[in-house]
């Protein structure tokens, strides 16, 4: 080992879902929205002049923050915007989780970037086991700690925790910031946003990647009381004042303003999800109740890894996690009705072939 390597922080990075180069596959593995962004987004791209890129972007992101504030009925001072919710969450960890003696707590089965950020920033943490049914068990969060992070609805399980339970967490932990990661809340459940007036330690984080079909543009945001947001802004401006490019800012504004399109596409995904649940049940799958744009399913007879590989051979990508407790589940993103029909057809073939082999 070189001398300089002794001072390098050795990390195990987050591993995202596979991004196949073949555009003809059915991609149901990264929870992307199967529908295009709002039509106004395309108009922004068509009307943009490259000459504008020679100037730095507007550093306060005020137009986007104001548009989001209008949409949610809050003040722009209560909105922080970053380059995807990962950027927002990472900045939040860096800003609020500075207690050297008390650990940050989050579920052991949840978004796997949380422990990566803790390792990166040197934050003590505890992964609290979820219950046998994969629901979040809040008994493990009792007692003072350095922070709490709850994805609600949770990923990859899809389960939603009611706001009353989260309010109890907030009331029990005035000593730390509680982050509620609402990446999927548009597809089910109630947001914690209306409680930000009551709790000065509540930070609600959202993304444009799922319900707004803008995973490729990287827009995320956080909402909380003005003081909380001011600390995030100070941290960001100590790191990089020009975080979001000009095109992305305008795309974000256009997306938020088209509420009718947003509502229609979210409703379509929810309808397809409910139809898909019934079809999966008919095929012998079971799953936690999903409040997201995906279903976390396990089959009664056929191992998840085997189904994953056979679907992949057919050009259908779903997500498989080779991890304790969830290594017999598949996370299936809700696609279009046509994509889901092709998935079900492939599953019928795989399961039928397996049944014949077992009976012979």
Q: What pLDDT is attached to residue 21?
A: 87
Domain final residue pick, 258, 286, 306: 258
Which tens digit of pLDDT belongs to each residue from 2-18?
889 988 988 889 888 88
Domain final residue pick, 258, 291, 307: 258
Q: What pLDDT is attached to residue 179?
A: 98
Residues 319 and 337 in one domain: yes
Strand order from edge to edge, sheet including 178-181: 79-82, 220-223, 202-207, 178-181, 147-151, 104-107, 125-128
* Cβ–Cβ under 8 Å, residues 158 and 289: yes
Non-local CB neighbours of 60 within 8 Å, separated by 6+ positions: none
Number of domains in the chain: 2
Read off the pLDDT band of 22 (50, 70, 90): confident
Count of H helices and E strands in the chain?
A: 10, 13
Measuring CA to CA, which residue among 296, 295, 294, 318 is closest to residue 306? 318
Residues 21 and 47 in one domain: no
- Given a cut of 70, whether residue 359 has pLDDT beyond it is no
Residues 73 and 87 in one domain: yes
Domain final residue pick, 258, 276, 292: 258
Residues 160 and 85 in one domain: yes
Q: What pLDDT is attached to residue 360?
A: 58
Q: What pLDDT is attached to residue 217?
A: 96
Domain that holds residue 276: 4-35+260-359
- Given a cut of 70, whether residue 354 has pLDDT beyond it is no
- Given a cut of 80, whether residue 321 has pLDDT beyond it is yes
Which tens digit of pLDDT belongs to each residue from 296-311?
999 999 999 999 999 9
Q: What pLDDT is attached to residue 358?
A: 63
Report pTM: 0.95
Q: What is the CATH number of the domain that holds 314?
A: 3.90.1150.10
- Given a cut of 70, whether residue 176 has pLDDT beyond it is yes
Residues 53 and 130 in one domain: yes
Give the whole-angstrom CA distance, residue 159 versus residue 131: 12
């Amino acid at each position: 080992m070189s001398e300089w390597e002794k001072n390098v922080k050795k990390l195990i990075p987050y591993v995202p879902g596979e991004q196949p180069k073949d555009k003809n596959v059915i991609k149901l593995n990264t929870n992307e929205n199967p529908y295009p962004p709002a039509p106004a987004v395309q108009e922004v791209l068509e009307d943009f002049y490259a000459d504008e890129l020679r100037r730095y972007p507007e550093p306060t992101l005020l137009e986007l923050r104001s548009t989001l504030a209008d949409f949610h009925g809050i003040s722009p001072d209560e909105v922080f915007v970053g380059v995807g919710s990962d950027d927002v969450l990472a900045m939040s960890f860096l800003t609020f989780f500075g207690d050297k003696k008390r650990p940050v707590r989050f579920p052991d089965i949840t978004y796997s970037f949380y422990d990566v950020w803790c390792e990166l920033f040197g934050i003590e943490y505890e992964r609290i086991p979820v219950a046998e049914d994969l629901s979040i068990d809040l008994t493990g969060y009792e007692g003072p700690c350095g922070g709490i992070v709850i994805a609600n609805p949770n990923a990859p399980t899809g389960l939603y925790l009611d706001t009353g339970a989260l309010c109890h967490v907030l009331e029990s932990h005035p000593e730390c910031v509680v982050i509620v990661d609402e990446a999927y809340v548009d597809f089910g459940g109630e947001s914690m946003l209306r409680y930000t007036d009551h709790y000065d330690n509540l930070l609600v984080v959202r993304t444009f990647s799922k319900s707004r079909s803008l995973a490729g543009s990287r827009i995320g945001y956080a909402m909380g009381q003005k003081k909380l947001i001011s600390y995030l802004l100070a941290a960001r401006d100590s790191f990089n004042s020009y975080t979001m490019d000009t095109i992305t800012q305008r795309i974000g504004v256009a997306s938020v303003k088209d509420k009718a399109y947003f509502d229609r596409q979210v409703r379509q995904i929810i309808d397809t999800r409910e139809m898909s649940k019934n079809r999966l049940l008919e095929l012998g799958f079971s799953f936690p109740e999903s409040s997201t744009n995906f279903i976390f399913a396990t089959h009664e007879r056929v191992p998840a890894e085997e189904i994953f590989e056979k679907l992949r051979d057919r050009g259908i990508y779903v997500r498989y996690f080779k991890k304790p407790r969830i290594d017999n589940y598949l996370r299936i993103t809700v696609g279009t009705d046509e994509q889901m029909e092709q998935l079900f057809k492939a599953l019928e073939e795989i399961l039928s072939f397996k049944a014949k082999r077992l009976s012979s």
